[in-house]
Amino acid sequence: MPVIGGDVTELTFNHPTQGTGVLFVKSDEDSELDTGGYRSADEEKSVDTSGEMIDVMTLSRWGCTFVVAGDLTTRQDLEKLVALAGDPVQAVWTITHISGSIYRGKGKPVGDVKQALKAATIALKIGGGGKAEQVG
């Protein structure tokens, strides 16, 4: 079976007070997904005098990046994302890839949330605790 790359076809959120929503990911833009979990540090000098590796492990949060459409008139995507970023309660995010794979994680927009007015897009980064799990 071939490896399938391509677009994210659906990005949704479900928040207990901010409600639910769908964000429209821009086609032909690269999105990234880090499912989180433990990582080993990439340190070439992390060895002891016997030559054994000193494995420095840390826990990394899950996260993803997208370029989404930013509708300022009817959907008010920027306002929704700013509200989600400012809320201490995290939303459940569901990410559907063109291959049919579906990932889900609890998180919120992190970093700057800004609208590119000419391109009508928002560079969105979502981060959360724990791991993003494959659910489909």
Q: What is the pLDDT of residue 72?
A: 86
Q: What is the pLDDT of residue 131?
A: 95
- Concatenated DSSP letters for 17-85? TTEEEEE-BPTT---EEE--EEEE---TT-B-TTS-B---EEEE-EEEEEEEE--TTTT-HHHHHHHHH
pLDDT beneath 50: ranges in the chain: none
- Residue 112's CB is within 10 A of a number of other CB atoms, namely 10
Name every residue whose Cβ is closer than 8 Å to that of residue 106 and which is 6 or more positions away in sequence: 90, 91, 92, 93, 128, 129, 130
- Residue 68's CB is within 10 A of a number of other CB atoms, namely 21
Q: Which tens digit of pLDDT belongs to each residue from 35-70?
A: 999 999 998 889 999 999 999 999 999 999 999 999
The tokens of 87 are what?
């809320």
Q: What is the pLDDT of residue 38?
A: 94
Cα 3 from Cα 125, distance rounded (Å): 25
Q: What is the pLDDT of residue 1?
A: 73
Q: Do 126 and 111 contact (CB within 8 A), yes or no?
A: no
Q: What is the pLDDT of residue 70?
A: 92
DSSP element (H, E) containing 80: helix 77-86
Q: What is the pLDDT of residue 3?
A: 84
Q: Do 110 and 63 contact (CB within 8 A), yes or no?
A: yes
Side chain identity at residue 100, one-letter code:
G
